[in-house]
Amino acid sequence: MTEQRPLLEVTDLVKHYAVRGGVLRRQVGTVHAVDGVSFALGAGETLGLVGESGCGKSTVARTVLRLVEPTSGAIKLDGEDIAPLSKTALRPYRRSMQIVFQDPFASLNPRMTAGDIVGEPLTVHGIATGAKKQERVAELFQQVGLRPDQMKNFPHQFSGGQRQRICIARALSLGPRLIVCDEPVSALDVSIQAQVINLLIDLQRKQNFSYLFIAHDLAVVAHISHRVAVMYLGRIVEIADKHELFANPRHPYTQALLASVPIADPKAKRTAPLIDGDVPSPINPPSGCAFHTRCPYAIDRCKTERPMLQAAGTAHQVACWLNDGTGRSE
Amino acid sequence: MATINFDSELRRAGANATGGWGRLAFLAQRHVLGTVGLIIMLLFVLTAIFADLISRYDPLTVDSAHRLAPPSMLHWFGTDSFGRDVWSRIIHGARISLAVGIGSTTLGATLGVIVGLASGYLSGWVDLVFQRVTDILQSLPLLVLALVMTAALGPSLPNVILAIAIPLIPTVARVIRANTLALREQPFVEAAKSIGMSEMRIALRHVLPNTIAPLIVLATAQLGSTILTEASLSFLGLGIPEPYPSWGRMLSESAAEYVRTAPWLVIFPGIAISLAVFGTNLFGDALRDILDPRQRG
């Protein structure tokens, strides 16, 4: 979007989990949850992050917020690397980045009123107390389309969509510059999904923060994102401008992913072959390109050398040996 | 998860009333046994509070002219070998039982919550140390442990409370720890972290309040067994010292010698103990059903 310094710049982010076994709890393997992910996110921009379950989308989200400690890599927020910071040193940065979770039922403390939940960040960061806090919370409630008189209600008295609005209000309370949305609508009814998505878009227009938007529903991602990154087995395989990605997918995995979206027309023909098999285990990911075990176009090089993201047209990067702009099999 | 949605639980069960009394009436109707338990417990508490008004004689006054008198209009439950009125002694014994029951349950639960919360939330070596100590404590039966402790500390009311409270800690700590471990993974705790709250605040404001329901259930269930443990300790001569009336001691004094000649000395304290334990257990069961429907079984 912008040529100036991006708001968030993630470089070579890695998160490995140790698999321990046996009596002595020795490490018997490593889960490569996130395996060298890099991307940048400009101010006011929305980056959609898509991929199958277990591909590491949520781990990326949590690692960026340092809710999960990264194994290695840099997370630059406004040019400042927050990855090596201690918990105390990190606190001021927490104001700039917030998260909205998938499950609106589990992400609100059932023992606190909605008003207390939304107002708590203000107390914690010493921003407002007493009447001033109440005023700000009421304002936040209105911003997300809730009535201020609902502040004294408990989470269970709200519907799923309303709960997600409370989560959004909580995320907004500190005036963040980045909001990570970890599948914020996948637990909601389709009609409610649209409302929440539109609310998110609307809020972004007014307050100009950035979204890292994680989802597995391509239609939702297409609607909200400016750019889209496709993940497979802990790696970004393709990242491009939204229109470019949907019109001209270059990675075979992206092609298959887009082709798997059901089309509401029984006569429509599939344009790309569906892929067979399951996602390989992230404990021992395949050598070379992680996708070569399922790729219909795989060549020998794919099995040995890992392809890196490289430019393929304007605002388009792909990690595939065949798709450096020429290899797409017609 | 340990999130209890009380209002909707009630509504789903068919309660129309939203007012306090209406709800109470509805619950009482559904849990008849629990209500009986509650009534027994209330009677027990009232007896302890108003012991001086209800008892007809001083429980400690010795009357050698009326030793071992059978139940009569004068002495409802008869008199013991010192001529003390059994009815009055049982009424006053309720105070001791209640003091020990509530005192040791509260103390044990409080310490257990601290240990459990620290263990579950901090994990790592804190958890390891606490859990191994808990294992050791749990490998001994409640009574044996309490016995050893009173023997070491000497019999007195505070010592008995302490001796019964300490063996309770592991049970409470285990439940709280398990709950804390589960709650720690909840998104609302993650949200609290992303807001930048201190670990202490998260533990106290977000984890602890959500462990209260299982804690209440556990504490009520333990109340009965603490009363029973006190009675057993006193029976074995390590509980409340003479001459204070403890139900357990009343039983032990009379059991061997007078069980055939003056059975009222055994029957009435026995009934008192059974009734108190029965009442708290019934109430505890009902409370578990109401607060924690998933444990039903």
pLDDT in tens, A25-57: 788 888 999 999 999 999 999 999 998 888 889
The torsion angles phi and psi of B80, rounded to 5 degrees, stand at -95, -170
Residue A221 has pLDDT above 50, yes or no: yes
A99: distance to nearest CA of chain B, Å? 7
Nearest CA to B120 out of B5, B210, B4, B213 is that of B210
Q: What is the pLDDT of residue A71?
A: 94
Residue-level pLDDT at A313? 79
The residues, ordered by sequence, that sit 6+ positions from B160 with a Cβ below 8 Å of its Cβ are B100, B104, B150, B230, B233, B239, B240
> What mean pLDDT comes out for the span A127-145?
94
Are B73 and B252 in contact by the 8 Å Cβ rule? The answer is no
Q: Which CATH architecture is the domain A1-43+58-90+227-262+271-330 placed in?
A: 3-Layer(aba) Sandwich (3.40)
Instruction: Identify whether the C-beta of residue A88 lies closer than 8 Å to the C-beta of residue A268.
Output: no
Please judge whether B195 and A120 are an interchain contact, meaning their C-beta atoms are less than 8 angstroms apart. yes
Say yes or no to pLDDT of B217 above 70: yes
For A103, which of B4, B5, B187 is closest by C-beta distance? B187
Higher-pLDDT residue of B156, A229: A229
| Minimum distance, in Å, between the CA of residue A73 and any CA atom of chain B | 20
- From the list A65, A94, A110, the residue facing B3 with the nearest CB is A110
- Is the predicted pLDDT of residue B21 greater than 80, yes or no? no
What pLDDT sits at residue B258?
Answer: 83
- Phi (first) and psi of residue A10, to 5 degrees: -105, 125
Residues 6 or more apart whose CB falls under 8 angstroms from that of A69 comprise A63
Q: What is the predicted pLDDT for the residue at B1?
A: 39
Rounded to the nearest angstrom, the minimum Cα separation between A278 and chain B is 28
- pLDDT in the model for residue B297: 40
Question: What CA–CA distance (Å, rounded) separates B152 from A42?
Answer: 70
What pLDDT is stored for residue A231 in this prediction? 94
Does the structure show a pLDDT above 50 at B2? no
pLDDT band at A311 (very low <50, low <70, confident <90, very high): confident
Inter-residue contact B169 to B111 (CB < 8 Å): yes
CATH of B33-295, one of 3.40.50.2300, 3.50.50.60, 1.10.3720.10, 1.10.12.10: 1.10.3720.10
DSSP B240: S
Closest residue of chain A to B197, computed from CA coordinates: A124
Residue A304, pLDDT above cutoff 80: yes
Compute how many other C-beta atoms are within 10 angstroms of the C-beta atom of residue B205.
Answer: 17
Judged by a CB distance cut-off of 8 A, whether residue A90 touches chain B is yes
Query: B85: helix, coil or strand?
Result: strand
pLDDT of B10 reads 62
Which range has highest mean pLDDT (A207-216, A275-284, B51-60)? A207-216
Segment A261-278 mean pLDDT: 72
Provide mean pLDDT across the span B227-251.
85
pLDDT at B254 over 80: no
Q: What is the mean pLDDT of residues B143-150?
A: 84
Average pLDDT on A232-254 reads 91
Rounded Cα distance, B51 and B202, in Å: 44
- For CATH 1.10.3720.10, the residue range(s) in chain B are 33-295
**Contact at CB, B196 and A106, closer than 8 angstroms:** no
Least confident of A221-230, A237-246, B39-48, B251-260: B251-260
Relative orientation angle of helices B124-138 and B157-184, to the nearest 10 degrees: 130
| Pairs of CB atoms within 8 A across A/B | 66
Are A99 and B3 an interchain contact pair (Cβ–Cβ within 8 Å)?
A: no
**What number is the average pLDDT over the span B285-289?**
83
User: Given an 8 Å threshold on Cβ–Cβ distance, is B196 in contact with A125?
Assistant: yes
- Average pLDDT of every residue of chain A: 88
Count other Cβ atoms within 10 Å, centred on residue A237.
27
- The answer to whether the beta carbons of residues A214 and A180 sit under 8 Å apart is yes
Name the residue type at position B65: A
Among A106, A124, A170, select the one facing B186 at the smallest CB separation.
Answer: A106
pLDDT band at A273 (very low <50, low <70, confident <90, very high): low
Q: What is the mean pLDDT of chain B?
A: 85
Average pLDDT over residues A300-329: 78
Q: Quick one: three-class SS letters along B152-179?
A: HHCCCHHHHHHHHHHHHHHHHHHHHHHH
- Res. B69: pLDDT tops 90: no
Q: Which residues of B touch A94 (CB under 8 A)?
A: 194-196
Q: Among partner residues A90, A98, A101, which is closest to B187 by beta-carbon distance?
A: A101
Q: Please, what is the Cα angle at A101 between A95 and A106, to 5 degrees? A: 115
Find the residue in A nearest to B188 (Cα). A107
User: Which chain B positions have a beta carbon within 8 Å of A167's beta carbon?
Assistant: 191
**pLDDT for residue B188:** 94
What per-residue confidence (pLDDT) applies to A272?
64
Mean pLDDT of A311-321: 86
Q: Is the pLDDT of residue B16 over 70?
A: no
Q: What's the confidence (pLDDT) of residue B122?
A: 84
Q: What is the pLDDT of residue A3?
A: 52
Taking Cα atoms as reference points, which of B267, B274, B278 lies closest to residue B86?
A: B267
| Mutation for A interface: B6, B9, B193, B195, most A CBs within 10 A | B195
Strands A227-232 and A46-50: parallel
Please, is A63 exposed, middle or buried when counting C-beta atoms within 10 Å of its C-beta (0-12, 13-18, 19+)? buried
* Across A177-196, average pLDDT: 92
Render pLDDT for B70-104 as a digit per residue (tens, 0 to 9).
888 888 888 888 888 999 999 999 998 889 999 99
Rounded to 5 degrees, what angle do the CA atoms A104, A48, A118 make? 30
CA of A12, closest CA in chain B: separation in Å?
22
DSSP reduced 3-state for B91: helix
> What residues contact residue B137 under an 8 Å CB cut-off, 6+ apart?
B145, B166, B167, B169, B170
> Residue B187 and residue A107: Cβ atoms within 8 Å?
yes
Chain A contacts of B3, Cβ < 8 Å?
110
Residues of B at the A interface (Cβ-Cβ below 8 Å)?
1, 3-5, 7-8, 186-188, 190-197, 201, 205-206, 209-210
User: How large a percentage of chain B has pLDDT more than 90?
Assistant: 32
Average pLDDT over residues B245-251: 86
pLDDT-based confidence at B206, cuts 50/70/90? Answer: very high
Give the residue on B whose Cα is nearest the Cα of A107: B188
Q: Residue window 127-166, chain A: list those with CB within 8 Å of chain B.
A: 156-157
What is the predicted ipTM? 0.85
**pLDDT given for residue A238 in this prediction:** 93
Q: What is the 3-state secondary structure (H, E, C) of chain A?
A: CCCCCCCEEEEEEEEEEEEEECCCCEEEEEEEEEEEEEEEECCCCEEEEECCCCCCHHHHHHHHCCCCCCCEEEEEECCEECCCCCHHHHHHHHCCEEEECCCCCCCCCCCCCHHHHHHHHHHHCCCCCHHHHHHHHHHHHHHCCCCHHHHHCCHHHCCHHHHHHHHHHHHHCCCCCEEEEECCCCCCCHHHHHHHHHHHHHHHHHHCCEEEEEECCHHHHHHHCCEEEEEECCEEEEEEEHHHHHHCCCCHHHHHHHHCCCCCCCCCCCCCCCCCCCCCCCCCCCCCCCCCCCCCCCCHHHHHCCCCCEECCCCEEECCCCCCCCCCCC
Distance from CA of A211 to the nearest CA of B (A): 15
Predicted confidence (pLDDT) at residue B295 exceeds the cutoff of 70: no
- Shortest CA distance to B114 belongs to which of B199, B159, B167, B180? B180
Q: What is the pLDDT of residue A324?
A: 53
pTM, two decimals, is 0.82
As beta bridge partners, residue A50 has A215, A230
CA distance A211 to A98: 10
**Model confidence at B292, in pLDDT bands (50, 70, 90)?**
low
pLDDT at A323: 64
* Residue A212 φ then ψ, to 5°: -105, 105
State yes or no: pLDDT of B121 exceeds 60. yes
pLDDT at B3: 44
